[in-house]
Structure 1
Amino acid sequence: MGHKDELIARIQRAEREFRRSVVSQAATDFFSVDLTMPQLRVVFFLAASGAISAHELAEALHVGPTTLTGIVDRLEARGLVRRQADDRDRRVRRIGLTEEGQRLVQDLHRVQHQYEVRLLRRLDVDVLAGLATAVEALARASEELAREDAQARSVGAGTGAGAC
């Protein structure tokens, strides 16, 4: 294994430990809202995507329509999401967050932000500077990879059966 591969393995091990620690710390806050993990996934996905059709949501979360219906029913009963008719196609029902659902997401993001600040303040300035540089580089690399993947998908889509 080369030096670069060893560093990658070291980073992955450290990241797993870091995530385990953060998840155990954050679990208290996230589970205090009395939602299941599938319900939280729906709420956070809708916060990021905006209102989308039930079909799109089920596909994005890799759950069946029946499973999604049960999750959305429970979230709707709690006033966190609402179903509404699509403006372009009245047959389609779009699912979106209510104001209460948006407030919940904001509250959870605020708790997460406060935890991150508390955590980062434990590090000295030199470590923070290095971490900032590393995270910025990761963000750039992630954007580049996403562009490359999108290009590969669009090229692949044009080469399938029926393409001219």
Structure 2
Amino acid sequence: MSKTTRDALCREIFALNEQIRLQSYELVGPSAFPPDLTMRQLHVLVAASRDEGLTVHQLATELGTSAPTASGLVDRLAAKGLLTRVEDTADRRVRHVHLTEDGQEMLSQLDSAYERLLGEIVELLDTDELKAFRDNSQMTLDIIARTRQHRSDHPTISST
């Protein structure tokens, strides 16, 4: 495949995914994603929900950022009442990050909106379309796994 063909395909993929994102937001509605929450802050909330009690240093590693950047994200989310920092009992320098009830509720609402939209989408698909949708979903997950592995193998690549 020539570089020109590859570049054109990449542009199409980005344009299609932007349309998927925008049209999905239109279907879900404006209330699904809080206007005062950045995508990076959402990543922090998701990480805190997956690994309750992770440290700010662990969070920074997971996000691919510095500890001060991760700490700033945690501070902003704590100020919104979505996260708390809890001092480590063994090492007072270490802080563990926990979702508050409001943080858990926000993630639950976002998950619910996505599940409703996905349910509505699959209801419109016939069996062949469902199989193609499943196969494309699996391919996307496989590509994400390859990307994670590539980042692990090449740690200087930034996720920002």
TM-score by length of 1: 0.67
Is residue 2:136 matched to residue 1:134? yes
> Structure 1: 5+ residue runs without aligned partners?
157-164
Task: Select 1:107's aligned residue among 106, 109, 127.
Answer: 109
Deviation at 1:142, TM superposition (A): 2.6
Quote the Cα distance in structure 2 between the aligned partners of 1:64 and 1:140.
28
Q: Do the aligned partners of 1:43 and 1:101 also contact (CA within 8 Å) in 2?
A: yes
CA RMSD between the two structures: 3.2
Aligned partner letter, 2:84: R
Quote the Cα distance in structure 1 between the aligned partners of 2:75 and 2:57.
10
TM-score by length of 2: 0.68
Larger-Rg structure: 1
Deviation at 1:148, TM superposition (A): 3.4
Aligned partner letter, 2:37: M
Q: 1:102 to 1:123 in 2, by over 3 A?
A: same
Is residue 2:96 matched to residue 1:90? no
Give the paired residue count: 147
The one of the two structures with greater contact order (alpha-carbon pairs below 8 A, sep at least 6) is 2
Aligned partner letter, 1:121: E
Aligned partner letter, 1:36: D
Deviation at 1:51, TM superposition (A): 2.6
Deviation at 1:150, TM superposition (A): 1.6
Aligned partner letter, 1:144: R
Q: 1:22 to 1:41 in 2, by over 3 A?
A: same
Secondary structure of the residue aligned to 2:148 is helix
Percent of residue pairs identical: 20
Deviation at 1:17, TM superposition (A): 0.6
